[in-house]
Amino acid sequence: MISTKQLLDIIARMAEVIQENKDFLTELDMPIGDSDHGINLARGFQAVTAKLPTLEGKDAGTILKTVGLTLVSTVGGASGPLYGTAFMKAGAKMAGKQELSMDDLLICLHEAVEGIKMRGKSTTGEQTMLDAMVPALEAMKAAAGTPAEVLAAGLKAAEAGVEATKDMIATKGRASYLGERSLGHQDPGATSFTLLFSVIAKAV
């Protein structure tokens, strides 16, 4: 079980991980995007960190929805609306909850995936964050064992998904303008999702 206090700690650590990898994510974005994925996400999570003290004692749904709204309003480019939608959709399902179980985490990830598919009008195989998210979700559903083992399976699948984006031709976002020249490039969104997911996997 993840308490709301632990959830706040996880989100704070997510912000730190994005800050630590800001330059790396931006470098990944340079050949295929607007060269700002890391910069934009770091700005958004900085704003999220500033909001965390106001969320102490709130339920999980309120916490996740507030994170989503903050990301939408502070992150430029495509990643703000996409990540914002992911957190808001997950938050809508967690309304009133003071603890999150493994089943709740699966619901959150499922809702995040569906929200991103809807907002981005995208699916897997298009060199987007979904190419890490969907394999993670499927691996967790198939995995047996402790919560830590289930999350480890999800993380392993997400990392493999990130690697697989190098062999895809982008058909969504700025990278799609490159056509076959997007081959060989690792998707920044899949990478940032996997970094965020690693925080959850290590915390449980």
pLDDT at 190 over 70: yes
- What pTM did the predictor assign? 0.91
Residues 106 and 134: their CA atoms lie apart, in Å, by: 11
How many domains does the chain contain in total? 1
| pLDDT of 177 | 43
| pLDDT of 144 | 87
| pLDDT of 182 | 46
CATH code: domain of residue 189: 1.25.40.340
CA angle 105, 107, 110 (to 5 degrees): 110
54-92: pLDDT as tens digits: 999 999 999 999 999 999 999 977 889 999 999 999 999
Q: What is the mean pLDDT of the chain?
A: 90
Residues 64 and 112: their CA atoms lie apart, in Å, by: 11
Residues 21 and 133: their CA atoms lie apart, in Å, by: 19
Which structural domain range is residue 139 located in? 2-203
152-187: pLDDT as tens digits: 999 999 999 999 998 776 555 554 544 454 455 788
104-160: pLDDT as tens digits: 999 999 999 999 999 988 888 888 899 999 999 999 999 989 999 999 999 999 999
Residue 177: Cβ within 10 Å count: 11
Residues 183 and 192: their CA atoms lie apart, in Å, by: 19
Cα separation of the two ends of the chain: 8
